[in-house]
Amino acid sequence: MTLLANQEGLQNVYTPLPLGIHIVFCIFATVVLLIQYSRKSRICYLLATIAVDATLITHLAFEHKAVILTLEIIELLLVAGCIIDIAIAYMKKREKMRAEKEQKNLLDRRQKEREKREVISDSDVLDRAFDSDLNNLGDGN
């Protein structure tokens, strides 16, 4: 606690927000991202939550270059993980849409084939209606 109290006079170039506002932002972002994760069950929301919350480290260790460098690498990996998850989800959605479109096209082709067969069978009925053998049924007795 004394570290946080003594920090107010120091300049933090990594996080321009004061600690109190930064904590409020992190809490708000965490709540929103966890709600999204519960709704969509996508790992990118958990990775983004970790990335946002990890920025609080800059308030505690902004004088230690090794810690900041490690944090930057971790943040880059988390963002890369988010991008990969988004790309995979996009490809799955595109594949699903393509499969649905193929299924719809198949159903449309089957429907057209049925309609074509019905038209042919209707024309056969009409052709037979005027067939002389069928019309002369009463004359044969």
Could you give the angle at the alpha carbon of 120 between the alpha carbons of 118 and 122, nearest 5°? 70
Ramachandran quadrant class, 74 (left: phi over 0; alpha: psi -120 to 50; beta: rest): alpha
Tell me the pTM.
0.61
pLDDT at 3: 47
Looking at residue 19, its amino acid is L
Could you read off the pLDDT of 56-79 as tens digits, one per residue?
Answer: 888 877 777 888 889 899 999 999
The pLDDT value recorded for residue 61 is: 75
For residue 129, pLDDT over 80 is answered with: no
Give the model confidence (pLDDT) of 43-59 as tens digits.
Answer: 999 999 999 988 888 88
